[in-house]
Amino acid sequence: MVDNLDYSQPLYKQIPLIGRLLIVFVVMTGTFMAILDTTIVDVVVPKMMAPLNTDLYGIQWVITAYMMSAATSLLLIESLDKILGLKKLFLTGITVFTISSAMCGIAEDLPMMIISRVIQGTGEAFIVASAQTIMFSIFPPEKKGVAMGIYGMGVSFAPALGPTLGGWLTEHLSWRAIFYVNLPVGMMVIVLGLLILPKFKHEKVKFNFNFTSYTLLAIFTISLLIMLSKGQQKGWWQSDYIVLLLLISIGALILYVISELASKRPLIDFSIFKVPQYRYAMMIYFFTLGLSIYQLFYLIPLYYENLRHFTTLQTGLHMLAFAIFIGITSPVAGFLADKIGEKNVLLFNACLYITTSVFLIPNLNYYTPSVQTMLLTVPLGFSLGSFFAPITTMAMRHLGPKTSLGVSLMHYIRFMGGSFGTAIATNTLQSRFNFHFDEISVMQNNQFLHHYLQQLKPYLSKIFPGSIAEIKAALLIAKAQSTMALSHAFQDVFRHAGYYGILGLSFLIFIFWHDRKNKKTT
């Protein structure tokens, strides 16, 4: 669409407004499709077990394989960007993602589905990293926040919308429809991308890649992700399998560091962390997004489905409330980041997110009315929407030619931090459930419990024989006890997730301190 570009001038100066809007539409449609697929698959995984002839533990590989592939593929982005350019990299990602979606839709067994998901994860990595760099490059400096606000709307809104769309498609069509829906969207993005996207790179660079470092870091990443996803199932450190994975990941990481130090062409240019805004933003990103926000994304659907026993569609509709506010707030936060500064928007976000995650969301329990659950999550939508745009703008504004590397590392941290967050949430939920179940047992009045069981037995005797009725009565009491223990456990885990947010957002102090120090020296 944009011909005869002068590569000595910034790209944003050569693209008219209508061209920028069309590029945004193409890039964000592809990004939204890829990010949406992450959570839309999560909610329908149980329905895949019978068609794929597997069990609950086997079907988890559908998610784990995707995460491993996406995380390791992100490490290739900077090198591929130099060779292919952003346009070819983005369109390659869309093509790979679309074809692999069709493969997922026709998969008849678990191995075929896992292979398809591995390919799909590679496509997603290419899409999200190249798309964010494209968005950052086509906007002028004074509108970088708006660019990241628009991008953040897709990244934050899509995961929240996933359960709603996944529930509707599964209930009215089939679980395979969640993959087939990507085909027309993907083909449209490919055609429009070929016509609209400009050529971002005008010169070819010799392929210079550190395969040794990449292999070692990939082994570290894969071993760690498998350990985190399978830890609860295997019993964590009681399992030789989990211990072996930990040792492999530690050994691979040590060898990777040695390889990087000895190499003349390291895989990652760690001088990027000398930029203080990027360094502190990455710490905030890891702890707040990975260990806190991703916990909430994981826990809220579980709260609705496992505790409240909502259907997948009902769960999605209840999550739609805060998803809408994420979409509304994100561009506004990006606009404010340009006007009043990223750190000031993040300071507001810190106050709102800590209040929401520590004091509001933990009020959700078994008895919370449906409307109230939606209202309690609305402030969460505001806080999530106001997080992504300022944190990414602050991280990327000062990177210059290292922007592509910075984006790749941010998404890598997103995957790794999210894996840690999910593992922490799963482990904490189970341990707090056990704690509260035992505490309820200790606090019970055994005489009153026996009296209540005797009152319940005659009602059940009308349905079951006498001995069975007594067992059923005891099981009903145990079920009530389990429900209350799970309700208290969810409240604890919600609050614990908020604590990680406090830890991450505390790095804002260093950003304010750095800026104040710079003002004094100037």
Do 387 and 288 form a contact (C-beta atoms < 8 A)? yes
Mean pLDDT to the nearest integer, 312-331: 84
Q: Which residue has the higher pLDDT, 25 or 202?
A: 25
8-state DSSP, 49: T
Q: How much is the average pLDDT of 32-47? A: 80
Between CA 41 and CA 63 the distance in angstroms is: 8
Categorize the per-residue pLDDT at 171 as very low, low, confident or very high, splitting at 50, 70 and 90.
confident
Closest listed residue to residue 393, CA positions, set 325, 341, 329: 341
Alpha-carbon separation of residue 294 from 1, 386, 443, 465 (angstroms): 38, 15, 34, 48
Euclidean distance between the first and final Cα of the chain, in Å? 44
pLDDT at 204: 60
Phi, psi of 501 (to 5 degrees): -65, -40
Q: DSSP class of residue 464? A: S
Contacts of 138 (CB under 8 A, 6+ apart): 11, 12, 15, 20, 23, 24, 147
pTM of the model: 0.85
d(Cα 41, Cα 163) in Å, to the nearest integer?
9
Please choose, from the candidates 202, 207, 198, the residue with its C-alpha nearest in 3D space to the C-alpha of residue 91: 198
Side chain identity at 179, as an amino acid letter?
F
Cα dihedral 18, 21, 23, 29, rounded to 10, equals -150
Query: Chain-wide mean pLDDT for the chain?
Result: 86
Give the tokens for residue 464.
Answer: 């079951």
Please tell me the predicted confidence (pLDDT) of residue 22.
92
Read off the tokens for 369.
Answer: 């009315």
pLDDT of residue 303: 92
pLDDT band at 483 (very low <50, low <70, confident <90, very high): very high
**Long-range contact list for 512-516, CB < 8 A, 24+ apart?**
512/343, 514/276, 514/277, 514/280, 515/343
Tokens of 224: 């760690």
Task: Tell me the pLDDT tens digit for each residue of 426-458.
Answer: 888 988 999 999 888 887 777 776 776 777 777
Give the pLDDT mean for 71-77: 89
- Alpha-carbon distance of 369 to 176, in angstroms, equals 33
% of the chain surpassing 90 pLDDT: 37
With contact defined as beta carbons under 8 Å apart, do 14 and 136 qualify? no
pLDDT, residue 301, reads 84
